[in-house]
Amino acid sequence: MSTLELQNLTKQYGALTAVNNASLKVNSDEVLCLLGPSGCGKTTTLRMIAGLEFATSGDIFINNNNVNNKNTRQRNIAMAFQFYALYPSLSVSENLANPLYAENISSEIIKRKIGEIAEILQLKNILKRKPHQLAEGEKQRVAVGRAIIRDPECFLFDEPLSRLDVQLRETMRGQIKEVLSDLKKATVIVTHDQLEALTMATKIAVMRDGLIEQISSPHNIFAKPQNIFVAGFIGTPQMNLISAQFIKKENNICQFNIFGQNINIKFAQNYELDPNVSYTMGIRPRSFEFNVQQNTETFSGTIELIENMGAEILLHVKNDKNTLRAVTSRTNNLRIGNKIHLAPKINQTHIFNADGKVL
Amino acid sequence: MRKRVVGEAGWSHSAIAGAVGFIYFFPVLFIILTAFRNRMDTLATPPKWFFSPTFENFYHIFYRSSSTTSEYISTGFHMYFFNSIYISGMSVILALIIGTLAAYGFSRHPLKGNETYLFIILTTRMLPPIIVIIPIFLIFRLTGLAGSYTGIIMMYTCFNLPFSIWMMKSFFDELNTEIEDAARMDGASERSVFFGICIPQVKAGLAATSVFALILTWNEFLFALLLTNKTTRTMPNAMARTIGGEINVDYGLLAAMICLFLIPIFFVTYALQNQLLRGVTFGTIKK
């Protein structure tokens, strides 16, 4: 069992707060993804966990032991770096063995461990090569191998797949996930790629400007975003965020003024809404029914642009000054200039208050 | 990476390059040829291209006929040769050690006002040496450092330090610090991060810095003229003494001295040339 816990972790560089009061907990066999745009403090958080940077305030616990004042090595953490950080003058097998040298392990065991890792990560044929002779994918596997060869308390991965091409990324994503599920250690992965986070993580922490905006399971992050930022950040194409004026409510059917149209939307739960507050409505582009008939539950607009996405098409639907994005199957025979009517699917509409928090 | 085939540029380009190269090399070639001419051939106009080579110039560097007796006496040149090697070697090594440590510090553990310190270090090289030589001479005379090995080695080390700090800092700045972090995570101490991870990666920088510093020191004349005495005199001064104050200049002797003077630098540059090429092109190639 290994756990990792951060309590009110803050890092300041002069006047800049890189990480602001971050608190989270990762249990063994959990994979937490720190997800966020560039410069949001996710790598700084990871480096603080690793002991490569010291926190301005707050506590880090590994297995319930406070490690604030322990150095990198004493924390017994393994980390795979974004640029792989392989020792340029050492061969692959020496690179793999390096973390073990410090532990005074006999060369027999080191050799056996290298063999095991090489087996798992398919490195057998390149053990004698130097890092500069390796392809990107191979370097990446060596970096992962070097992280998992020890038996650390937890694993940290900094943008592990960012330098690989799309196909290789998909393969490696699967491989890393498989390896991690076997290791059953608390793992933190930093990424800016939401697909990576959604597929690899058991828990996602979305960060912005040093703040953790939401921590939840990948499904919840996608289906129940806590605020406008998470709603807009997760999901491609991006969620439609439209300002909406509440008019009246009958049972669970609320009437809003959106795009100058009065639209009835049915909710599963009973929201307390105030006509004097300006709300923001979030609807994912895939959460629309394509109705042929205009009625009180549809947005109406003209198709302004069609983007091809393979099996699907992304429509930009314009109404007066506002534009909505909607995704539909390419079998729908739609043309630019067509007038269409869209109805939000039941229970797939999110309402955010003036502070950007979900209702 | 595309492999370059030797001679790929073609005959015409190679011929032009050869011609330009020859123009550059001609003075050196002329000096080398002069070193092997006898006194008559040396002064011949037009220059004699074909002559029977002689080693008498080289012999005369070390032994000169006495004006009173017919014996040949030692000129002490072997000592000057040793002095040059010892003084420039020691000062380059010292400047490299201190400079590398300082550069690592400036690069990895920046101080408040780091850039200002670096600028101040560079300002010491902004004054022409002739401006500072008089106070330095007085300080050296007061402290008794004048004429000693310690004094001139210290002087040259200071002279080389700004250059080696700036150059080595740029090499350290270019390194991927993730590798150092990885080593720390693997349990390396700060010392082994520096010696085991950083130093091997800046070998090219060390080579380039040492060659440039060595050439500067090896050729230095002014400080050596004023701060050395008969026993610590370096080659450039020893050579200058064969020109000054005599009725006529023995060009053959001078040429032979230059030949000897070139040999150490030639070998050092040759030994380090692979590293050197990587050193001077550092940062220009995509990582």
Task: Give tens-digit pLDDT for A97-114.
Answer: 988 887 888 999 999 999
Rounded Cα gap, residues B59 and A82, in angstroms: 64
A89 and B200 within 8 Å at the Cβ level: the answer is yes
H or E element, residue A172? helix A166-183
Nearest residue in B to A86, CA atom:
B179
Question: What pLDDT is recorded for position A108?
Answer: 92
Contact with chain A for residue B181, Cβ under 8 A: yes
What domains lie within chain A, and their CATH numbers? 4-228 (3.40.50.300), 240-352 (2.40.50.140)
Of A233, A258, A229, nearest to A243 by C-alpha is A258
**A residues 288..347 contacting B (CB < 8 A):** none
Q: Do residues B151 and B234 touch, judged by C-beta distance below 8 A?
A: no
Task: Give tens-digit pLDDT for B195-251.
Answer: 989 999 998 899 999 999 999 999 999 999 889 988 899 999 888 887 765 567 788
Task: Give tens-digit pLDDT for B88-130.
Answer: 999 999 999 999 999 999 999 999 999 999 999 998 888 888 8
Phi, psi (5° rounding) for residue B219?
-90, -5
Which of A72, A84, A101 is the closest to B185 by Cβ?
A72
What are the chain B neighbours of A99 within 8 Å (beta carbons)?
185-187
B186 and A99 within 8 Å at the Cβ level: the answer is yes
Of A225, A219, A220, A262, nearest to A240 by C-alpha is A225
Contact with chain A for residue B179, Cβ under 8 A: yes
B283 confidence band (pLDDT: 50, 70, 90): low
A85 and B179 within 8 Å at the Cβ level: the answer is yes
The residue assigned the tokens 């506002």 is A322
Q: Where are chain B's structural domains?
A: 11-74, 77-280
Q: Topology of domain B77-280, per CATH? A: MetI-like fold (1.10.3720)
Which of A78, A101, A103 is the closest to B185 by Cβ?
A78
Average pLDDT over residues A50-58: 92
B226 in helix, strand or coil? helix
B182 and A85 within 8 Å at the Cβ level: the answer is yes
Of B282, B270, B285, B203, nearest to B2 by C-alpha is B285
Q: Do residues A200 and A177 touch, judged by C-beta distance below 8 A?
A: yes
The residue assigned the tokens 């406008």 is A228
- How far apart are the CA of A67 and the nearest CA of chain B, in angstroms? 14
A81 and B186 within 8 Å at the Cβ level: the answer is no
B271-276's contacts with Cβ under 8 Å and 24+ in sequence apart are B272/B207, B272/B210, B272/B211, B275/B203, B275/B204, B275/B206, B275/B207, B275/B208, B276/B204, B276/B207, B276/B208, B276/B211
Q: Number of A:B CB contacts under 8 A?
A: 55
CA distances, B140 to each of A182, A221, A257 (Å)? 71, 74, 89
**Other CB atoms within 10 A of residue A87 CB:** 20
pTM for this prediction:
0.80
- How far apart are the CA of A88 and the nearest CA of chain B, in angstroms? 8
A203 confidence band (pLDDT: 50, 70, 90): very high
Task: Give tens-digit pLDDT for A260-314.
Answer: 788 888 887 778 888 888 889 999 999 988 876 888 888 888 999 999 988 889 9
Rounded Cα gap, residues B153 and B211, in angstroms: 17
